[in-house]
């Protein structure tokens, strides 16, 4: 953002004027004005402003959901490319203007600016979520399944976006970390820091800071990671839970997201049942013929190239591990992230391409080596990790 302080001050005050107008009369014209004012202030685009008349449900304050498409999520998780949120939707709780809480226009403005800024100004929110995903994969001895299905990707995408929302919103965090707030020292003419703190204190003193004691902001992400890896097993429980969550949620945006998740789950289930039946028939009808054919063909160029890349990845991982800087806090998380990516690509390639037994054994050895190194990095100690790729040749080999 290349603004002078005077320009920024004028744009900030435009947002405050919009809040004052909405407080007096929450009509669409003033929400459109707020969207316009926010889009002058931030490079990331506010796509919509939703207002919810919250009568009998829990206070949520603000619900700001990043707009990230599923392919961007997969790319962010499986590469080193940094992701910055470029668009978002914002929902405003009518209780934010409640006389019983007593927030001033300046306090509401500061809270809105805080939550948007924390989400869109740099790549740190996405990086924090990616590290949480890496920790989950290591702790559960898993790798990320790479699927071309848009239904699968939407599940992971919802978990990713929800986690970004929860690790940046002051209404989810329940506390204000002034040291992480980029605006804290720049907006000095409005008592911005004091407005954020006083606003949060008013919310807490009236019993509305419901997330203050919730330590794990990645509960939904962890749940959706489990669903992503076993849709058939979780299908019925997810459908029931989505319906129950929709009944309880005060947020229109969240209810819409839950509807989308529900539809994706059901579509995935249909696709997977068809695919599962086809795979079973193929195996029963052609097991012997397939085993003979796979064992006869040599390693072709495509398989060789993938093996070569995987071996090069392993060499790079070994070199990185041997040269870790103990004073660099991101060194081990970044290396674990690289290992997760390499393991995901190997698993995806082996499961979706034809390989002979020799090539499989080479892939499996690399995969197991990476898994062992990942566990060493996570626990800081050596122990046996005995898991590898699903063996396509087990039924053809002598036990």
Q: Which long-range contacts (CB under 8 A, 24 or more apart) does 268-274 make?
A: 268/149, 268/151, 268/152, 268/155, 268/231, 269/231, 269/232, 269/235, 271/149, 271/151, 272/231, 272/232, 273/232
First-to-final CA distance of the chain: 64
> What secondary structure letter does DSSP report for 397?
S
Same domain? 223 vs 308: no
Which of 236, 254, 274 is where one domain is finished? Answer: 236
| Within-domain flag for 70 | yes
Please, how many CA atoms are within 13 Å of residue 59, restricted to the half-sphere of its CB?
A: 19
**243: Cβ–Cβ under 8 A, 6 or more apart, which residues?**
262
Same domain? 45 vs 165: yes
| Within-domain flag for 246 | no
The DSSP line for 226-295 is HHHH-HHHHHHHHHHHHHHHHHH---HHHHHHHHHHHHHHHHHHHHHHHHHHHHHHHHHHHHHHHHHHHH
- Cα dist from 87 to 42, 83, 108, 187, 349, whole Å: 10, 12, 21, 23, 33
Same domain? 305 vs 230: no
Comparing CA positions, the residue from 175, 173, 158 lying closest to residue 253 is: 158
- Cα dist from 347 to 172, 234, 342, whole Å: 36, 22, 9
| Within-domain flag for 205 | yes
| Within-domain flag for 48 | yes
Residue listed under structure tokens 């041997």: 322
Same domain? 188 vs 114: yes
Q: How far, in whole angstroms, is CA 208 from its chain's centroid?
A: 26
Q: How far apart are CA 67 and CA 57, in angstroms?
A: 25
Residue 116's pLDDT is what? 96
Helices 150-166 and 124-139 cross at an angle (nearest 10°) of 120
* Residue 136 contacts residue 374 (beta carbons within 8 Å): no
Element housing 8 (H / E): helix 5-24
Residue 280's pLDDT is what? 38
Same domain? 209 vs 317: no
| Within-domain flag for 242 | no
Instruction: Kindly give the confidence (pLDDT) of every residue in the chain, 399 residues in length, as a single tens digit, with 9 standing for 90 and above.
Output: 566 777 888 899 999 999 999 999 999 999 999 999 999 999 999 999 999 999 988 899 999 999 999 999 999 998 888 999 999 999 999 999 999 999 999 999 999 999 999 999 999 999 999 999 988 888 888 888 777 777 788 889 999 999 999 999 999 888 888 888 877 766 767 788 899 999 999 998 887 765 655 556 788 888 888 888 788 778 888 888 888 888 888 999 999 999 998 888 887 755 454 444 434 333 333 333 343 333 333 445 677 778 878 877 887 788 778 777 777 888 888 888 888 888 888 888 888 888 787 788 888 888 888 888 888 887 654 333 455 666 655 544 443
Element housing 345 (H / E): helix 331-352
Residue 212's pLDDT is what? 55
Residue 294's pLDDT is what? 37
Residue 296's pLDDT is what? 38
Range of the domain at 356: 297-396
Mean pLDDT of the chain: 81
> What secondary structure letter does DSSP report for 207?
T
Q: How far, in whole angstroms, is CA 378 from its chain's centroid?
A: 21
Same domain? 212 vs 306: no
Same domain? 92 vs 191: yes
Residue 182, φ and ψ in degrees, nearest 5: -60, -30
Tally of structural domains, the chain: 2
Conformation bin of residue 380: beta by default, left when phi > 0, alpha when psi is -120 to 50? left
Q: How far apart are CA 71 and CA 147, in angstroms?
A: 11
Residue 76's pLDDT is what? 92
Which of 184, 211, 236 is where one domain is finished? Answer: 236
Measured from the Cβ of residue 122, the count of other Cβ atoms closer than 10 Å reads: 14
| Within-domain flag for 180 | yes
| Within-domain flag for 34 | yes
Same domain? 106 vs 30: yes
Q: How far apart are CA 14 and CA 8, in angstroms?
A: 10
Same domain? 80 vs 197: yes
**Could you read off the pLDDT of 50-107 as tens digits, one per residue?**
999 999 888 999 999 999 999 999 999 988 889 999 999 999 999 999 999 999 999 9
Q: How far, in whole angstroms, is CA 212 from its chain's centroid?
A: 21
| Within-domain flag for 266 | no
The DSSP line for 78-105 is HSS------EEEEEEEGGGG-TTTT--H
Which of 187, 202, 236 is where one domain is finished? Answer: 236
């Amino acid at each position: 953002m290349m603004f002078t302080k005077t320009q920024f001050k004028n744009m900030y005050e435009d947002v405050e004027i919009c809040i004052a107008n909405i407080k007096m009369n929450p009509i669409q014209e003033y929400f459109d004005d707020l969207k316009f004012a926010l889009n002058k202030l931030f490079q990331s685009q506010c796509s919509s402003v939703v207002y919810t008349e919250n009568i009998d449900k829990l206070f949520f304050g603000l619900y700001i959901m990043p707009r990230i498409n599923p392919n961007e999520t997969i790319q962010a998780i499986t590469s080193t490319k940094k992701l910055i949120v470029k668009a978002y939707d914002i929902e405003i709780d009518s209780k934010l203007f409640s006389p019983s809480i007593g927030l001033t226009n300046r306090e509401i403005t500061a809270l809105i600016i805080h939550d948007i800024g924390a989400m869109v100004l740099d790549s740190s929110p996405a990086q924090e979520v990616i590290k949480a995903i890496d920790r989950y994969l290591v702790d559960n001895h898993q790798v990320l399944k790479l699927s071309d299905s848009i239904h699968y990707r939407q599940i992971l995408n919802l978990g990713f976006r929800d986690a970004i929302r929860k690790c940046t919103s002051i209404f989810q965090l329940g506390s204000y970390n002034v040291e992480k707030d980029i605006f804290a020292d720049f907006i000095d003419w409005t008592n911005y820091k004091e407005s954020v703190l006083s606003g949060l204190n008013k919310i807490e003193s009236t019993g509305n800071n419901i997330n203050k004691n919730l330590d794990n902001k990645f509960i939904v992400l962890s749940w959706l990671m489990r669903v992503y890896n076993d849709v058939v097993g979780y299908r019925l429980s997810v459908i029931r839970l989505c319906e129950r969550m929709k009944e309880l949620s005060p947020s229109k945006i969240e209810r819409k997201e839950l509807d989308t998740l529900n539809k994706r789950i059901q579509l995935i289930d249909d696709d997977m049942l068809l695919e599962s039946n086809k795979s079973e028939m193929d195996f029963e009808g052609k097991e012997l013929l397939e085993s003979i054919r796979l064992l006869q063909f040599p390693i072709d160029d495509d398989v060789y190239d993938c093996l070569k890349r995987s071996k090069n990845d392993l060499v790079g991982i070994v070199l990185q591990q041997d040269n870790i800087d103990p004073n660099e806090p991101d060194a081990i998380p970044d290396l674990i992230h690289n290992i997760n990516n390499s393991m995901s690509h190997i698993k995806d390639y082996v499961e979706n391409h034809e390989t002979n037994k020799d090539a499989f054994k080479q892939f499996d050895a690399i995969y197991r080596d990476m898994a062992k190194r990942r566990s060493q990095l996570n626990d800081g100690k050596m122990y046996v990790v005995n898991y590898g790729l699903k063996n396509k040749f087990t039924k053809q080999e002598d036990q």
